[in-house]
Amino acid sequence: MHQARTTCPYCGVGCGVMASVEGDTLTAVAGDSDHPANYGRLCVKGSALHETLGRQGRLTRPRVDGVEVDWDTALDAVATRLARTRQAHGDASVAAYLSGQLLTEDYYVANKLFKGFLGTPHLDTNSRLCMASAVAAYKRSFGADAVPCSYEDLEEAELVVLVGSNLAWNHPVLYQRLRTAKQRNPLMRVVVIDPRVTDSCEIADLYLGVRPGSDARLFNGLLAWMAAKGRLDRVYLDGHTQGLDEALAAAREDDTHIEAIAAACDVDPERLETFYYWFASQLHVVTLYSQGINQSSSGTDKCNAIINCHLAGGKIGLPGAGPFSITGQPNAMGGREVGGLANQLAAHMDYHTPGAIDRMTRFWTTDSLTPRLPPGPGHTAVDLFEAIERGEVRALWVMATNPAVSLPDANRVRAALAKCPLVIVSECVADTDLLPYADIVLPASSWSEKDGTVTNSERRISRQRGLLPPPGEARHDWWIMTQVARRLGYGEAFEYAEPCEIFDEHARLSGFENSLDPSLDNRGEGFRLFNIAGLAGLDRTAYDALTPIQWPVTAQTPGGTARLFGDGHFATADGRARLVAVRPQEPAQALSEARPLRLNTGRVRDQWHTMTRTGRAPRLMNHRAEPFIEVHPDDAVAFNVGDQQLARLTSPNGEYRARVRLSTGQRRGEVFVPMHWTDRFSGQARMGSLLEVHLDPLSGQPESKHGAVSLAALDIGWEATLLVAADLPSDRGWREEAEYWTRIPLANCQRWQLGGGQPGDDSHDWLAWVQQWLPVAPTLWCDDPASGRLRAAGIENGRLRWWLMVAPPAELPGLAWLDERFAEASLGNGIRRRLLAGCDSGEADSGPLVCSCHQVSEKAIVEAIRGGDTSVEALGARLACGTQCGSCIPELKSLLEEEGRHARSDKKLETEVA
């Protein structure tokens, strides 16, 4: 066994991971205590990483037109078909759609191949759905796509504003760092701005539950307030910025009275002014923003409205200060560095950067090859799929993303993919919603096998290390592309033997004709802030030993750079930052009588995107086992849906079916749904099918947070839970028959949650039904015709093969016990007798899991609280919940509060009665 350092492949925090490897197996993970992103911590997703690995469910052989082939045949097919398409329809008829989950080395090769040698500008990335607005705003203000801050700034701030970010769930380790810093510094304040009460509110001193989409008005109001109260930093503004007057004039076009802004944002005026006062009176302020800001039809402006306030107060370039766009994917930043966005070239050069195309051409020229870069930017993600629909783009290579799920109006995207003459998909897992559209499927290596670098949210470059051999014939993404390049005649430009050679070229390009001295006087035309020339020339050993480092890394800053713009010089031609005039816009998607509810979409704590990884770890399925619709209780009454009932959301584009969760943290008139469920996991729970396309005109980022939908109960006659042994075929029959289905992988069986039939119709013959779909006849059953309830089980050769309960899932027994029975080689008589009850003691389901690390249920926690535990620490001491990764601490706190409230109102009742 040996231990190796690598980096977590999930979120942009970029935690260092210590992996234990035994032979070909990664047996355990722990936080790397030396890594400056996490200092030893991991969140629940990170600590379950080893449970998501294994050969099962992986793609292991290339496939062409549905037939498994060897690599030579597959690569020949890719090369010939790409060449044929270009010959018949021109360079711009081929395109690539990439992802912030590729390593920098993969990304670099893709960009070089498509833009440099295939000569097409159409290469974009899922970062368009994620970071594009933040990038566009940084460039407008700073002249470069540069995040000024470090994680330490969160700890050193006096005020941290979380706006449009649910940090507690989506960047949990950073949230833990912030939480700890706040405990150490009682003067630190945290403000959360989000239409939804999220777990991040746990540490909030002030919460502003804004009307969705109203953030630009709120920050414009702040700018005007600072000006009115004499809180502008005139010295900083005069010395280092431009554009204050225009920005202020734009902010003053709307009524700047606190009451007017508060009304527009639908928040309490006093609370709003408190926030303004806190922001204006502290110097050390970090505003951390994410998808609640970016994913908007005016996201770039919203980012700039935030940046304006920081520039106006001189709250930037200092410890504990700055506008901090937190990135989502592990390598969203790396993609930005190599030119993964269609409007960029590479190494932070744009098409319009003077001399850039020529510089790139010279840099990529070899003895016998001259690249042919396109003259201008290509289609951004959503436009790209429209160009496919129109038949202009006729060949698409997708790597490490799933546009059939994650793009808005995803059903239309699917239709475009179905029409596209050539779809190539590089993917790790065998079963995704995208693969049915692929003509050529290429099996890619995955985390723990891949070798390269990623850049996290604070510009820190870390190594992901290849520790295990890829399964079967899976290959690294960069290798696949170099093989295709060779077949197309570009071999000489792609002669990489290993990732360190690609990284070296990337590092050299960053310093190529780039002024090395980042002082103002020396900034020539070609100056780019992104510069890692100090990391050029690393050989294999040095590359393997690379420790995490923040760019820029140059001869002057060999140890990296924690904070940018400390000298007040920005990357614009005159060195000054720009304040931008922002005119607040409403969400582009209008509400109407037919679609009265605002649709908010986002993430849950234990799942990652389309669940291709996290869906493989049963313990991550318990926090939110089914897709859901979060609804305010008053709306539930108005729309006639009940807690835990099945319901549907509709828009003209699609329908979404899931279970209702009532939540007072939800504003009235708004619903929230998770982004994670696909057709692999549920019948109709893809949020992307509900959204219409509305793009930010500056960044091309779609508005994924402000859809419009209607809500209604799903009219059905029955609900059932079916557990099926993992090795039995999961027949599609019951999926097609059900009005609602969700598949939930457990350790030893698959759980199917089903709903169907007509209300009031109880004529279903369940024993016949089960025999229709499963090869094992019912062995035990008990039913209650009066209530329509039934429980049954199928046993074969002493082994439990399936278990069925027809009743609402609220009546489920704890499934852990039953799941274990599926692993038993022979069920004893005593156990058989208890099977229908589904448990040892006749206990009901222990409910959702709160602590995924120690598998502690909500029910156990509530019992402990009722038994006298009054703090997170006490609960931890008794049940161990919250003691490992800490991700569930906000939920523990809210359970403590909730129970405390109940106890108080019970007491009140008692006194009143007395």
Ligand X SMILES: Nc1nc2c(c(=O)[nH]1)N[C@H]1C(S)=C(S)[C@@H](COP(=O)(O)OP(=O)(O)OC[C@H]3O[C@@H](n4cnc5c(=O)[nH]c(N)nc54)[C@H](O)[C@@H]3O)O[C@H]1N2
Residue 14 in the binding site for ligand SF4 (CB under 6 A): yes
Taking contact as CB under 6 A, which single stretch among the options 259-267, 278-286, 687-695, 898-906 is the one that binds ligand X? 687-695
Alpha-carbon distance 278 to 282, whole Å? 6
Reference 825, options 795, 799, 794, 793; nearest CA is 799
* Between 15 and 461, CB nearer to ligand SF4: 15
Contacted by 602, from ligand X, Mo ion, ligand SF4, none: CB < 5 to 8 Å by type: ligand X
Q: What do you get for the CA distance between the two ends of the chain, in Å?
A: 67
Residue from 8, 144, 147, 232 that binds ligand SF4 (CB under 6 A)? 8
Residue nearest to ligand SF4 (CB): 46
E strands, 255-314, are 285-289
Residue 629 in the binding site for ligand X (CB under 6 A): no
Q: Are 835 and 803 in contact (CB under 8 A)?
A: yes
Q: How far is the CB of 8 from ligand SF4 (least distance, A)?
A: 3
Residue nearest to ligand X (CB): 328
Q: How far is the CB of 332 from Mo ion (least distance, A)?
A: 7
Residue from 46, 121, 314, 328 that binds Mo ion (CB under 5 A)? 328
Q: How far is the CB of 149 from ligand SF4 (least distance, A)?
A: 17
Residue 272 in the binding site for Mo ion (CB under 5 A): no
Question: Which string of DSSP letters, residue by residue, matches 805-838?
Answer: EES-GGGPBPHHHHHHHTT-SS--HHHHHHHTTT
What 3-state DSSP class applies to 739?
Answer: coil
Residue from 144, 160, 265, 691 that binds ligand X (CB under 6 A)? 691
Q: Are 675 and 644 in contact (CB under 8 A)?
A: no
Q: How far is CA 701 from CA 52, 163, 293, 300, 603, in A?
A: 31, 18, 11, 9, 18
With both helix axes pointing from N to C terminus, report the angle between 71-89 and 477-487 in degrees, rounded to the nearest 10.
Answer: 60
Q: What's the per-residue H, E or C state across 848-900? A: CEEECCCCEEHHHHHHHHHCCCCCHHHHHHHHCCCCCCCCCHHHHHHHHHHHH
x-marked contacts with ligand X along 370-399 as a string, rule CB under 6 A: -----------------------------x
Taking contact as CB under 5 A, which single stretch among the options 35-43, 123-131, 482-490, 720-728 is the one that binds Mo ion? 123-131
**Summary count for the chain: helices (H), strands (E):** 30, 34
Q: Which helix or strand (DSSP H or E) is residue 907 part of? A: helix 889-913
Amino acid at the residue 531: N
Residue from 38, 165, 572, 701 that binds ligand X (CB under 6 A)? 165
With both helix axes pointing from N to C terminus, report the angle between 104-111 and 499-511 in degrees, rounded to the nearest 10.
Answer: 70
Token pair 């990529």 is found at 364
* Between 170 and 753, CB nearer to Mo ion: 170
Contacted by 612, from Mo ion, ligand SF4, ligand X, none: CB < 5 to 8 Å by type: ligand X
Region 186-205 residues binding ligand X, contact defined as CB under 6 A: 193-196, 198
Residue from 18, 19, 26, 43 that binds ligand SF4 (CB under 6 A)? 43
Residue from 675, 698, 711, 856 that binds ligand X (CB under 6 A)? 675
Residue 511 in the binding site for ligand SF4 (CB under 6 A): no
Q: Residue 131's Cα: distance from chain center in Å?
A: 11
Reference 139, options 376, 292, 349, 383; nearest CA is 349
Alpha-carbon distance 842 to 837, whole Å? 6
Region 119-178 residues binding ligand SF4, contact defined as CB under 6 A: 171-173
Residue nearest to Mo ion (CB): 328
How many residues line the site for ligand SF4 (CB under 6 A)? 14
- Report residue 689 as tokens: 């099918």
Token pair 């199928």 is found at 794
Residue 455 in the binding site for ligand X (CB under 6 A): no
Residue 667 in the binding site for ligand X (CB under 6 A): no
Residue from 81, 128, 182, 450 that binds ligand X (CB under 6 A)? 450
* Between 202 and 739, CB nearer to ligand X: 202
How many residues line the site for ligand X (CB under 6 A)? 59
Q: How far is the CB of 553 from ligand X (least distance, A)?
A: 25
Residue 676 in the binding site for ligand SF4 (CB under 6 A): no
What 3-state DSSP class applies to 190?
Answer: strand
Region 312-331 residues binding ligand X, contact defined as CB under 6 A: 328-329
Residue from 5, 15, 95, 479 that binds ligand SF4 (CB under 6 A)? 15
User: Phi-psi category of 79—alpha, beta or left, where left has phi over 0 and alpha has psi -120 to 50?
Assistant: alpha
Residue 852 in the binding site for ligand X (CB under 6 A): no
Q: Are 345 and 357 in contact (CB under 8 A)?
A: yes
What 3-state DSSP class applies to 657?
Answer: strand
Q: How is residue 128 annotated by DSSP?
A: G
Alpha-carbon distance 600 to 67, whole Å? 41
* Between 394 and 450, CB nearer to ligand X: 450
Reference 190, options 207, 208, 179, 205; nearest CA is 205
Helix residue ranges per DSSP H, 329-402:
332-338, 356-364, 381-389
Residue 129 in the binding site for ligand X (CB under 6 A): yes
Q: How far is the CB of 608 from ligand SF4 (least distance, A)?
A: 8
* Between 172 and 688, CB nearer to ligand SF4: 172
Question: Which string of DSSP letters, residue by residue, matches 789-808?
Answer: EEEEEEEETTEEEEEEEES-
Reference 531, options 541, 517, 548, 546; nearest CA is 517
Alpha-carbon distance 340 to 126, whole Å? 9
Q: Which helix or strand (DSSP H or E) is residue 404 part of? A: helix 403-406
Q: How far is the CB of 173 from ligand SF4 (least distance, A)?
A: 4
* Between 43 and 163, CB nearer to ligand SF4: 43
Residue 744 in the binding site for ligand SF4 (CB under 6 A): no
Residue from 284, 583, 603, 735 that binds ligand X (CB under 6 A)? 603
Residues 6 or more apart in contact with residue 93 via CB below 8 angstroms: 85, 86, 120, 392, 393, 394, 395
Q: How far is the CB of 680 from ligand X (least distance, A)?
A: 10
Q: How far is the CB of 479 from ligand X (least distance, A)?
A: 12
Residue 130 in the binding site for Mo ion (CB under 5 A): yes
Taking contact as CB under 6 A, which single stretch among the options 346-354, 400-408, 414-422, 805-813 is the one that binds ligand X? 400-408
Residue 381 in the binding site for Mo ion (CB under 5 A): no
* Between 572 and 682, CB nearer to ligand X: 682
Residue 292 in the binding site for ligand X (CB under 6 A): yes
Residues forming beta bridges with residue 287, ordered by sequence position: 161, 323
Residue 611 in the binding site for ligand SF4 (CB under 6 A): no
Q: How is residue 552 annotated by DSSP?
A: P
List of residues contacting ligand X (CB under 6 A): 11, 99, 101-102, 126, 129-130, 163-166, 169-170, 193-196, 198, 210, 212-213, 215, 290-292, 295, 328-329, 399-402, 405-406, 426-429, 432, 444, 446, 450, 477, 600-603, 605, 607-610, 612, 675, 687-688, 691, 704-705
List of residues contacting ligand SF4 (CB under 6 A): 8, 10-11, 13-15, 38, 42-43, 45-46, 171-173
